[in-house]
Amino acid sequence: MLHRLAALFACLALFSAVPVHADPADIDAAARGVVRIIIIQMNNGQPTPVSHGTGFAVTPEEVVTNAHVVDEARQDSSLTIGIVPSDGGEAVYGRLVAVSPRNDLALVATTKPMHLPPLTISGNPNDESGPVVAVGYPQNVDIAQGLSIADLFRPQPPVESSGSLAGRRPSRQFDTLLHTAPVARGSSGGPLLDPCGRVIGVNSFGAETSSAEAGFYFAISTRELLPFLRANNVTPQVNGLPCRSLAELNEQERQRAEEQQVATQAKAQADEQVLAQRREEELRKIDYQIIDQRDNRMALAFVLLLVAFGGGGFAWLAYEEGESRRMKIGGAVAAVALIGCGIAWFSRPSFAEADDRLQDRLREQMSANETGAIPTPQPTGALMCTLQTDRSRVIGPAQPSVSLDWKDDGCVNSRTQYGFENGAWTRILAPTDQSNVAVNRYDPSTGEYRMDRYLLEQGQMSQVRKARAQYEPPACGGGKAAAEKLGAEQSAVLALLPPEPNERLVYDCSKAQGVTAASPSPVPATPSAKP
């Protein structure tokens, strides 16, 4: 009967799997916050491992593991707890903060600063089906590698094993998740991750199986983990947004760009049609004006011609009567009227002038629009930027909105100068106490503020910090030359980063209207979006 149930669960797990794959970069980034927990006994002044398990950072100096991993040290005061990081650094002793045997959870604090990268806990995990990855330090792998006792105290990358969720499976005492990602002795206390590297459970135990049966394993769910942490005054990083891949986002952005291009072309065609109609209307008005002007000039020429004949007749009569003075007056009037008649006749506007008048009128209208129309608000000055979750890939916690005071010279919040290169404003931030690099970008033409976060291992971070140390960002007010110099200097750091970031936050910025928000720090102290 047990064999049939195991086979049935295996089939259900296979059929319920979602065709989504975990991102290796995100899993590797999360694994850098996983540690080996060693129970230590001193023999002749030398530390000797009694047993070991796995834990993961929930703050830079606090680690979660299973209660049964540290149970020996809790009951025997002669035993101590050791914490060995997975990525560089030295092992340190741990201090037991809290133990909850009911749901097999424990909290251990480091006795020296380790600056561990905290893992993010999924605030809305899919606990029914889908791919998962278990991360830990199985003893059978240590034995197969032939690791010595000294090796256990040195940083070693944890083992990552993939599987699928088989649904929630509450035990008699606490809420658990059933999954098929292999977990062996020594992996207890390690995280169970979703495809974005977020914690959905704490691996605790496995089902007893024979070699012919499918392997099933149990992880303590976040329904148990989160209340345990909060009860012990730990505020973890929690993210409840959907897990999305960068490939999906990039494809979405490509389609969005195509739609914008089509919309731009359609608008250009519509504008061209409107302009053509306007040209026709203006040309018709100009034709009517030319006809009116020609008619007026012809009428004036006819009137002047009559005056010229009248003046000539008057001068002739005066001549006949011998009145030389009246003759001169009449002749002068006739001459002036005749000249005016000629001018009025030959100054009539030609229909060929219509195109020239049209161009002059269009130029006048454009000039009036540029100087007299209400300008479109540009995304500069005091801005409020709102996170666009549909365009973002958020793994850690993120601020839903940030304030941004942008100046035309690339100065942010009156203290952080952005670099300018290839038409883009960029600032690279590489905090010395974190294993991540943030590349912040702002486009004043669209009001888009974007932050790409790269979660790097210590070797990569060392290279980035070395390249970053080769230049000193200028203070605000240096002008475009200083911004272009910074942009060129930052390119050396950009060249060291992976092709794709682990996290992408996209914000839409608009003029702040009476909203006061905390001005973000130029260097992100936590994995969040800050200019």
Q: Which CATH number goes with the domain that contains 127? A: 2.40.10.120
Inside any domain, residue 253: no
Contact 419, 426 (CB under 8 A): yes
Alpha-carbon gap, residue 344 to 347, rounded angstroms: 5
Mark which of 199, 217, 240 sits at the end of a domain: 240
Inside any domain, residue 74: yes
Q: How many domains does the chain have?
A: 3
What pLDDT sits at residue 6?
A: 41
Inside any domain, residue 332: yes
322 and 405 share one domain? no
Sign of the torsion angle spanned by Cα atoms 182, 184, 189, 190? negative
Contact 162, 210 (CB under 8 A): no
Inside any domain, residue 220: yes
Inside any domain, residue 432: yes
Give the H or E element holding residue 246: helix 246-320
Instruction: Phi first, then psi: give them for residue 46, nearest 5 degrees.
Output: -110, 135
Alpha-carbon gap, residue 182 to 167, rounded angstroms: 16
Alpha-carbon gap, residue 21 to 17, rounded angstroms: 10
301 and 166 share one domain? no
Q: Which residues pair with 109 in a beta bridge?
A: 62, 95
Ramachandran sector of residue 381 (left: φ over 0; alpha: ψ -120 to 50; beta: rest): left
- Helices 324-346 and 246-320, axial angle in degrees (round to 10): 160
What pLDDT sits at residue 171?
A: 65
In angstroms, the Cα distances linking 204 to 22, 104, 188, 218, 240 are: 21, 7, 5, 6, 23
386 and 365 share one domain? no
149 and 207 share one domain? yes
Listed in order, strand segments (DSSP E) in 137-276 are 159-168, 176-179, 191-193, 199-206, 217-221, 237-239
Mark which of 318, 339, 369 sits at the end of a domain: 369
420 and 292 share one domain? no
Q: Which residues pair with 304 in a beta bridge?
A: none
Alpha-carbon gap, residue 308 to 456, rounded angstroms: 98
Structure-block tokens of residue 49: 């491992």
Most distant CA pair in the chain, distance: 154
169 and 206 share one domain? yes
In the numeric block, the tokens 């936590």 are attached to 526
Inside any domain, residue 35: yes
359 and 502 share one domain? no
62 and 174 share one domain? yes
Residue 355: CA count within 13 A, CB half-sphere:
1
pTM beyond cutoff 0.75: no
Inside any domain, residue 6: yes
What pLDDT sits at residue 266?
A: 80
What pLDDT sits at residue 435?
A: 78
Inside any domain, residue 439: yes
What pLDDT sits at residue 322?
A: 79
89 and 186 share one domain? yes
16 and 155 share one domain? yes
Nearest residue to 137 (alpha-carbon basis) of 45, 51, 223, 53: 53
Listed in order, strand segments (DSSP E) in 154-295 are 159-168, 176-179, 191-193, 199-206, 217-221, 237-239
Mean pLDDT, 10 residues at a time, the chain of 531 residues: 39 38 83 94 87 95 96 92 90 95 95 91 81 93 85 91 82 84 93 93 79 75 94 92 80 79 79 80 79 83 84 81 81 84 80 72 65 52 90 84 90 92 92 85 92 89 91 90 93 92 92 57 40 53
279 and 139 share one domain? no
In the numeric block, the tokens 């195109």 are attached to 355
Show the domain range for 504: 381-511
359 and 387 share one domain? no
Alpha-carbon gap, residue 189 to 83, rounded angstroms: 13
